[in-house]
Amino acid sequence: MKYKAAFLIVTIAGLLLAGTVTVSAPPHSECKEICHKLHDIPHMIAGKASQPLLRFLNIATPAPSANVDYDDLIPDLILMNPDATDPQIKAAMGIFLRVIEPMYVLAILFVAMYSMFISTTAKGRSKAKTMLPMLILGMCLVTLAPLLMKILLQLTHSIAGTILSNNAATADPLNQCGSWFMLKYEIFTWSAPYGLIFGVIDLMLWWGLFFILYIRFVILMLFTALSPVTVFFYSFELTKGLGRRMAEQTILWSTSQVAEAGAYAAIGIGWASLTAGNIVVNKTIDAPTPDINFIIGLSAFFVLILIIPMMVASFRKFLP
């Protein structure tokens, strides 16, 4: 009975191994092809990242202009997510799967053989039998990693979109702050060094907001491509620490979209409440000194810029 079970496990493992390796290609050419594709992944990431970068550069003007509606633009940028079904990203994940799946099959085969023929103690066999279902589960999760990543991105996008659909979400506080800086920049054009300070500060505020949203997009795209590797590392005790950190970062950078949307909506709701109570007045941007509008707008910039890095840096070791 014992040998029949061993034969069955070896047969199943052999079939799985055969299914994960292309039969028509010799081993050397297979490895060479995989190495070549792995070398192309950084170029693919850079190419995909350049597309949203061009969009960010096109809209990152020093101040709100007549042809840019920031009420529509900022929510669109917050909702930007990498497409897990993109052919190039799927190709990168496929390369990792072709490397990882045979390793799982070999690990399952080794653990099964160890528990039946090599281990001489009940404790060793019990430990091996405990590892076997975990390896099988890990292999299933690695195969499903692209689908799990797609579900995660769609979930955070839907939640953030629901939050931003609130009519009170507005970029008015940011516009007020930027307008005050640009007004000072235009007034002091006769004194270039003095006026330039205001223009640079305004530029840095808008670009800082766009830059953090762009960085989130690029990092999340990288973790999307590495999702099979993340699950693989998380499955083994030796690399579990690294895998857990990668999984946590993937979750945090994805859910930071919800935090950014919540902060943007909260700022809009607060601004609407203050405007309704005549605490802020939208026509005071030409005031000679910073007023309550400017202070609220500047605070809104800092909140929207800092909330993502603060969230990613604050939450750690929440996965088992």
**What pLDDT is recorded for position 238?**
84
**Could you give the CA distance from residue 267 to residue 301 in angstroms, rounded to a whole number?**
10
Nearest to 146 by CA among 218, 92, 216, 79: 92
pLDDT tens sequence for the chain (320 residues): 444 444 444 444 454 444 444 433 334 454 445 444 444 545 555 455 555 555 555 544 444 444 556 667 788 888 988 888 888 888 888 888 888 888 888 888 887 777 777 666 777 777 777 777 888 888 888 889 889 999 999 999 999 999 988 776 676 677 666 666 666 655 665 666 666 676 677 778 888 888 899 899 989 999 999 999 999 898 888 888 899 999 999 999 999 999 999 998 888 888 777 766 665 554 444 444 456 777 777 888 888 999 999 999 988 888 88
Decide if 319 is inside a domain: no
Which phi-psi region, left, alpha or beta, contains residue 90 (left: φ > 0; alpha: ψ -120 to 50)? alpha
Residue position matching structure tokens 């808008």: 206
Q: DSSP class of residue 115?
A: I
**Cβ-contact 168, 192 below 8 angstroms:** no
Residue position matching structure tokens 């990092």: 219
Nearest to 253 by CA among 81, 131, 133: 81
Q: Tell me the CA end-to-end span of the chain in Å, nearest whole number.
A: 38
For 209, the domain range is 2-314
10 Å Cβ neighbour count for 185? 21
**Could you give the CA distance from residue 75 to residue 170 in angstroms, rounded to a whole number?**
9
Element (H, E) at 225: helix 192-225
The two three-digit tokens of residue 292, written as one number: 């309550």
**Could you give the CA distance from residue 276 to residue 299 in angstroms, rounded to a whole number?**
20
The two three-digit tokens of residue 297, written as one number: 């707008």
**Could you give the CA distance from residue 296 to residue 108 in angstroms, rounded to a whole number?**
59
Decide if 85 is inside a domain: yes
Decide if 320 is inside a domain: no
Decide if 24 is inside a domain: yes
Decide if 163 is inside a domain: yes
Decide if 20 is inside a domain: yes
Decide if 229 is inside a domain: yes
**3-state helix vs strand vs coil in the chain, percent to 5:** 80, 0, 20
**What pLDDT is recorded for position 258?**
94
Relative orientation angle of helices 122-164 and 192-225, to the nearest 10 degrees: 140
**Could you give the CA distance from residue 257 to residue 78 in angstroms, rounded to a whole number?**
6
- Structural domain total, the chain: 1
